Amino acid sequence: MTSRVQKQTAHRLKKQRKAATRTKKKKQAKSRAVMRTKRSTQPCCGLCGAATNLTKTECCDQWICDDEHQYVLFSYDRNSCSRNHRRYTLCGFHSCEEHSGRWQDCAQCREEIETEMYVYYGTNEYNFEVLENPPAYEPTHCSACGREIVLADGGYSSSADSYLCGSCTAAKHPDLYR
């Protein structure tokens, strides 16, 4: 009789011990998960992922490479995350022009920037958040030879409402390229 009770108690104890190890394991897994999230919330540049030498953008308070000094004046290089975001996005433009409200629904931005560039500024890789439902636009064509001009790529000239591709600009203004 007594031995049976002892057996039962022993069995129960075993069960309890097992349960204890299980919760312990769970706890360990939990703390590992916490460590993992901690590591991933370490600030890094929202554009290129670099984790050192960071600053926050003035326009939208996001972590970004503090690399503006790397930019060589008039080189038009796209090697600076900070500069790219400030100069080539609606977010940067909107903030530099001191518009009010959000750039995503700013009528002034939409009005002041030609649609093709508006879409480029709103959707390129220098954005932390891209423009949803960008407006449709007609591609731009050279008014002399009819070739399509991608405004974002540059290398064209424009006057009033007409555009000239690079080669037509060079043909028209040979003095500029001498």
* Residue 166 Cα to chain centre, angstroms: 30
* Binding pattern for the stretch 108-127 against Zn ion, x by CB under 5 A and - elsewhere: xx------------------
Give the tokens for residue 58.
């003035």
Pairing of strands 54-56, 162-164: unpaired
Site for Zn ion contains 142 (CB under 5 A): yes
Q: Please tell me the distance from the alpha carbon of residue 38 to that of residue 22, in angstroms, as a whole number.
A: 25
Site for Zn ion contains 99 (CB under 5 A): yes
Residue pair 63/44 in contact by the 8 Å Cβ criterion: yes
Site for Zn ion contains 94 (CB under 5 A): yes
Q: How far is the CB of 128 from Zn ion (least distance, A)?
A: 7
Q: Which helix (H) or strand (E) holds 56?
A: strand 54-56
Part in contact with Zn ion (CB under 5 A); list of ranges 1-9, 26-34, 64-72, 170-178: 64-72
Q: How many helices (H) and strands (E) does the chain have?
A: 6, 6
Q: How far is the CB of 149 from Zn ion (least distance, A)?
A: 8
The footprint of Zn ion (CB under 5 A) covers: 45, 47-48, 50, 57, 59-60, 65, 81, 91, 94, 99, 106, 108-109, 142, 144-145, 147, 165, 168
